[in-house]
């Protein structure tokens, strides 16, 4: 681009000579249907100037004033074609808030509380400081403050916190040889809630609905043991969660002749004299308790959160039997998925499969199942058993699995 302006020549006689590349860009802006109107007449001003049209003619063609023509000629001389595509940033008609106001809002948010509330809102802070609620929201967003949110926490005061964490994490990352590591816990008082009216289905622009009121049909307790090595879950529903039921669950779900490491929380049921006496008779059972107020370290808690969100919370159950059927169905689906992943990892084929992967047959027929009958409902649940060395027991390889 060349600019020609001789001494003594007026402002109207300025000449612009864009190069071939810049001329092509300017002509493309004129012919592109997606170019905004204001960019089109800006490019027209520069091309008319390059074609040696006078200022008055350029004003007539572009329909603008003389200062506007001069402004965009100067912008082009300073910034080229890119300068024609954007507008100059103009200062706001409202002056920005001073830094002292920003610091005052932040200090009051983190150090003080409103006289009639436990936390600040935008309107309360705006009234206290004398600015608009939108300004308060912008200051909080810049500082990353969210006074309307509160998260719960609990710091463990266990004096052996570090030792217990090291022990449990060690079991997860490097389990002992020829041993089973189980994360065991109870999800107690699961309510069978029957909604008073059927919910509306999902549709465009509206989520699924369910009534807020319900009829309580009873409760059940889910005892679950998660096998750390495979992710498989063994579960059973019982009407209560006492030491008696806890021991019955252990007897029914654990294989013989293997050391068993149980990761448990500090629930009183796990430490009763009855449980201690049973553990003394069976020294191969080794209990590892999570630190106080740190039951989140038990991996089975993640399974409880999953089954609650996916299967229990949004369901409607006319009886405890319906609730337990739903829980057992989810357990079977979860175990089938864990079995599929184990097959893929090991390349191991089960009966009814042509290649490693998901069984074509019903998973309840391809692996050994143990029928557990609950005391209250006498429902039958088929629970898959897991071998400590990674293989799965089949019907032809299963002996007596009960623990005395």
Tens-digit pLDDT profile for residues 34-66: 888 889 989 999 998 888 888 888 888 888 888
Q: What is the pLDDT of residues 66-96, one digit of tens each?
A: 898 988 888 888 888 888 888 877 777 788 8
Q: Residue 24: in which H helix or E strand, if any?
A: helix 20-31
Report the pLDDT value the prediction gives residue 348, as an integer from 0 to 100. Answer: 59
Task: Decide if 73 contacts 44 (C-beta within 8 A).
Answer: no
Q: What is the mean pLDDT of the chain?
A: 81
Report the pLDDT value the prediction gives residue 93, as an integer from 0 to 100. Answer: 78
Task: Decide if 302 contacts 318 (C-beta within 8 A).
Answer: no
End-to-end CA separation in angstroms for the chain:
96
Report the pLDDT value the prediction gives residue 311, as an integer from 0 to 100. Answer: 92
pLDDT mean over 233-248: 91
Report the pLDDT value the prediction gives residue 339, as an integer from 0 to 100. Answer: 82
Q: Is 301 helix (H, G, I), strand (E, B) or coil?
A: helix
* 73 phi, psi to nearest 5 deg: -65, -45
Higher-pLDDT residue of 358 and 318 is 318
Q: Residue 190: in which H helix or E strand, if any?
A: strand 179-195
DSSP state of 166: H
Any alpha helices (H) in 264-356, and if so which ranges? 273-281, 300-307, 320-346
pLDDT band at 199 (very low <50, low <70, confident <90, very high): confident
Q: Is 323 helix (H, G, I), strand (E, B) or coil?
A: helix
Backbone CA torsion sign across 246, 247, 251, 254: positive
pLDDT mean over 215-236: 91
pLDDT mean over 165-177: 90
Overall pTM > 0.85: no
Longest dimension (CA), the chain: 113
The span from the CA of 62 to the CA of 68, in Å, is: 10
CA angle centred on 305, ends 301 and 308, rounded to 5°: 135
pLDDT band at 284 (very low <50, low <70, confident <90, very high): confident
Q: What is the pLDDT of residues 245-261, one digit of tens each?
A: 999 888 887 666 778 99
Higher-pLDDT residue of 199 and 360 is 199
Distances (CA, A) of 256 to 235, 346, 366, 382, 401: 18, 24, 22, 19, 6
Q: Is 402 helix (H, G, I), strand (E, B) or coil?
A: coil
pLDDT band at 376 (very low <50, low <70, confident <90, very high): very low
Lowest mean pLDDT, pick from 125-129, 310-314, 374-378: 374-378
Report the pLDDT value the prediction gives residue 349, as an integer from 0 to 100. Answer: 54
pLDDT reading at 186 higher than 70: yes
pLDDT reading at 347 higher than 80: no
Cβ neighbours for 52, distance < 8 A, ≥ 6 positions apart: 15
Instruction: Say what angle helices 99-111 and 133-143 make with each other, to 10 degrees.
Output: 80
């Amino acid at each position: 681009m060349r600019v020609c302006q001789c001494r003594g020549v007026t402002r109207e006689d300025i000449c612009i000579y864009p190069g071939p590349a810049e001329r092509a860009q300017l002509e493309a802006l004129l012919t592109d249907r997606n170019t905004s109107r204001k960019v089109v007449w800006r490019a027209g001003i520069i091309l008319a100037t390059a074609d040696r049209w006078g200022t008055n003619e350029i004003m007539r063609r572009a329909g603008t004033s003389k200062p506007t023509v001069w402004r965009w000629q100067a912008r082009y001389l300073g910034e080229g074609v890119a300068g024609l595509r954007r507008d100059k940033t103009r200062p706001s008609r409202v002056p920005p808030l001073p830094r002292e106001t920003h610091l005052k809002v932040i200090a009051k948010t983190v150090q003080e509380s409103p006289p009639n509330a436990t936390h600040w809102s935008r309107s309360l802070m705006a009234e206290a400081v004398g600015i608009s609620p939108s300004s308060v929201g912008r200051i909080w967003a810049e500082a990353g403050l969210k006074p309307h949110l509160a998260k719960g926490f609990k710091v463990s005061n266990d004096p052996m916190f570090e030792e217990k964490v090291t022990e449990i994490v060690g079991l997860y990352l490097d389990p002992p040889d020829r041993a089973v590591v189980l994360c065991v816990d109870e999800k107690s008082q699961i309510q069978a809630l029957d909604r008073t009216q059927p919910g509306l289905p999902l549709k465009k622009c509206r989520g699924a609905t369910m009534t807020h009121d319900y009829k309580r049909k009873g409760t059940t307790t889910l005892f679950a043991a998660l096998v750390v090595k495979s992710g498989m879950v063994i579960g059973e529903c019982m009407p209560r969660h006492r030491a008696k039921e806890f021991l019955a669950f252990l007897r029914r779900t654990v294989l013989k002749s293997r050391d068993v490491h149980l990761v448990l929380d500090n629930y009183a049921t796990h430490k009763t004299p009855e449980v201690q006496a049973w553990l003394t008779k069976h020294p191969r059972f080794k209990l590892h308790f999570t630190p106080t107020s740190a039951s989140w370290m038990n991996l089975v808690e993640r399974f409880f959160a999953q089954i609650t969100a996916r299967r229990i919370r949004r369901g409607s159950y006319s009886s405890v039997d319906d609730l337990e059927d739903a829980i057992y169905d989810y357990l079977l689906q979860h175990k089938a998925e864990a079995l599929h992943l184990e097959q893929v990892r090991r390349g191991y084929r089960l009966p009814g499969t042509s290649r490693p992967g998901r069984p074509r047959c019903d998973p309840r027929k391809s692996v050994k199942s143990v029928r557990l009958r609950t005391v209250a409902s006498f429902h039958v649940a088929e629970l898959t058993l897991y071998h400590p060395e990674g293989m799965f027991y089949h019907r032809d390889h299963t002996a007596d699995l009960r623990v005395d």
